[in-house]
Structure 1
């Protein structure tokens, strides 16, 4: 069944059928081949999106659009640009740094893609960067939205593997900062090699002026993270708080949002949310069938029996998760695999919090790898280009994150040092 589904999906891609529809059609073919009642498709598609944490996606997308229209995202971009934008390649570096800041608000890589990409993708194109490069950079940078806390995948791992979510959140800062700074270093060197971005510093504000203008915007992460760590609200509830705060700042403080703008903001948010939810629904059905066929269980048992040392186990897990992340949505993969792999990792003496960060970082790569990379769909939507054009520019970014993943995997201190300082 799994082989038939994958072949059907590849054929649909070759016929340029949309990704979401291709996933759905391949799942339906899988249902027919396995003689499962078709009603299961409706049930599983609904179940895939009928999850409280997923409510954060439309709220954060709405918050992102409000921040974009209300001038908050622009001020965050100007703040980041005042720090790193004065060098060649400063605008791509600004993209990465802004996403790192925004990640501390959103908890959603898709929301980060829309909110920051709507500003920086056009800006990058205007400064002479190729459109596919701008989209690939934004999709990759937005991945930090699920690595730097708050992070929905970390919550799902904590629940599934019975690990402290607070410890996971604290441990997430090390890997998030490592990946963020590695991406900034890479784009700086890459732009100098390519000769791009020699005028990136044009219109750059001084650090003091940018900080003053972005004061209310910078207070947003403080409120969101403070509320979460203070136990005032959950990360999903924080998305609603983000919407409320963005409305207050955009309408009453910056006064850049008018009542008439709300309809356009809501319409744009509904359309964006519907597209992403449709993809998640189809991917959920596909993941259900793959799971029903026993593929994740078989992989888990194989790793447990064949890989004997901790180092080889982690290498094998990373290879398997990288492939699984291409085909199964991040949250679904964590829910299925965490209960299987976490006990095996502890058997090898690997800290479950460290292993959780490895899983989250690895499966987050699935957000920027075809065929199910939701960040790619979002970035292509903003840049108005087809998915195939983004792939060549995406590969170097994937290699950078894979390098960081290896460091995170084999140097536990990157994840655990801050956790140990806080909790021990």
Structure 2
């Protein structure tokens, strides 16, 4: 069964079949031609793969993100960030990074963050004579933090696969996301200082207050989500639903940048996006089940990690595996394939499931803009009209500082677990 599965996967990947088709069709073919099992098991696994309570939050978070992107929240966040840090050396680039962190906390989508912030900031960055290679690296890397900062769709999928607490992983993601963003901000500052790049005029307190008032409704979304969860008022699913309703009210009645026609399009797009994620999860469940019943997952884990007794070495190997996966595959698909392999051994070594979550998600965030196939590179290319080769010199420094953040996240568990423990985790 396993040889048939691997051959089918290889062929489908080579011909660039969609990841959902590759996973699902390979599993079905392996059962049909490589075993005596009833292929109807595929249907049972497809349904069972998404029969999870934690996944109920997924469509609401996707809807909430789309509502906020359409309702004008990104522009107001960007204006607020520029008023806050625009006067610092490299302040325009810093505002781009900071706005991406905040928008990531609203959307949970890396490509959506690049599109929402990049389209607004790219013309201004070019006009202020920022090098194009630097702009490409900035936009590609800044969107990756959306995978880490809650509400992250990838975190929800990890928790579904492993049974970890969504709320605890969300709040741990705050620390990890801030570390990622801070490392990029430090690099931006010294790079801009070296080239003496332009900055905005310092905003007066009155201008900063006006920008804050305009962005206040947008800034309240993370407070509603995390505050609702950790006050005990609502579950992550409840918080997702509340944030979607709140975003709809803000877009329609407060900012008034979304019409009923726009609302209908957002609902349709959210339904399609939800379906894509759930079908991917169903297909990956088939693959995971086959790996389990064939004992391949256990064998593979033993080969890669069986003789490893050191946590330091174990986490280093896990990082390398995930960085490679992240280069070639979507974060959600990578989690679905890798998490069941490493989770049992990680917990046996005493690694906290919440800490492991942030290690895995951080690796995949870096993979989102790692050459040659990082998705963010292609999204950024569409905005800047640069090809991959032109962007690479600007990508490498951001990659280096984010890898340094990854090492801190990996080997400083007390730092990552501080907020969850403080909240009673």
TM-score range, shorter chain: 0.7 to 0.9
Q: Does 1:120 align with 2:97?
A: no
1:79-158 equivalences under 5 Å are 79-131=80-132, 133-158=134-159
Aligned partner of 2:36 in structure 1 is: none
Q: Does 1:420 align with 2:421?
A: yes
Provide the rounded CA distance (Å) in 2 between the counterparts of 1:349 and 1:304: 15
For residues 50-78 of structure 1, the C-alpha deviation after alignment (integer angstroms, 9 at most, x for no partner) is 975653575245224323xx3x3222112
- Name the SS for the 1:149 alignment partner: coil
Aligned partner of 1:176 in structure 2 is: 177
Aligned partner of 2:63 in structure 1 is: 59
Provide the rounded CA distance (Å) in 2 between the counterparts of 1:194 and 1:297: 52
For residues 376-416 of structure 1, the C-alpha deviation after alignment (integer angstroms, 9 at most, x for no partner) is 34434444555554444222222221111111111222212
User: Which TM-score applies when normalising by structure 2?
Assistant: 0.76
Q: How many positions carry a matched residue from both structures?
A: 406
Counterpart contact for 1:104–1:225, Cα < 8 Å: no
Counterpart contact for 2:101–2:145, Cα < 8 Å: yes
Q: Note closer, same or farther for the CA distance 1:146–1:382 as it changes in structure 2 (3 Å cut).
A: same
- Name the SS for the 2:423 alignment partner: helix
- Name the SS for the 1:376 alignment partner: helix
Counterpart contact for 1:158–1:165, Cα < 8 Å: yes
For residues 284-310 of structure 1, the C-alpha deviation after alignment (integer angstroms, 9 at most, x for no partner) is 969977996898655422233132211
Give the drift of 1:247. 3.7
- Compare 172-181 and 279-288 and name the one that shifted more: 279-288
Give the drift of 1:3. 8.2
Give the drift of 1:368. 2.1
Q: Does 1:352 align with 2:353?
A: yes
For residues 186-215 of structure 1, the C-alpha deviation after alignment (integer angstroms, 9 at most, x for no partner) is 1111223344x31x3158564333223322
- After superposition, the CA RMSD in angstroms is 4.1
Aligned partner of 2:200 in structure 1 is: 201
For residues 143-195 of structure 1, the C-alpha deviation after alignment (integer angstroms, 9 at most, x for no partner) is 22221222233333333333333322232222221111111111111223344
Q: Note closer, same or farther for the CA distance 1:135–1:61 as it changes in structure 2 (3 Å cut).
A: farther
- Name the SS for the 2:180 alignment partner: helix
Stretches of structure 2 that go unaligned for 5 or more consecutive residues are 34-38
Give the drift of 1:142. 2.2
Give the drift of 1:345. 1.8
User: Which TM-score applies when normalising by structure 1?
Assistant: 0.77
Provide the rounded CA distance (Å) in 1 between the counterparts of 2:277 and 2:386: 18
- Compare 293-302 and 394-403 and name the one that shifted more: 293-302
Counterpart contact for 1:46–1:281, Cα < 8 Å: no
Counterpart contact for 1:296–1:337, Cα < 8 Å: no
Give the drift of 1:93. 0.9
Counterpart contact for 1:66–1:246, Cα < 8 Å: no
Provide the rounded CA distance (Å) in 1 between the counterparts of 2:122 and 2:275: 23
Provide the rounded CA distance (Å) in 1 between the counterparts of 2:278 and 2:163: 25
Provide the rounded CA distance (Å) in 2 between the counterparts of 1:296 and 1:359: 18
Counterpart contact for 1:163–1:353, Cα < 8 Å: yes
Provide the rounded CA distance (Å) in 2 between the counterparts of 1:117 and 1:272: 22
Q: Note closer, same or farther for the CA distance 1:378–1:243 as it changes in structure 2 (3 Å cut).
A: farther
Aligned partner of 1:227 in structure 2 is: 228
Q: Note closer, same or farther for the CA distance 1:394–1:233 as it changes in structure 2 (3 Å cut).
A: farther
Provide the rounded CA distance (Å) in 1 between the counterparts of 2:85 and 2:322: 34
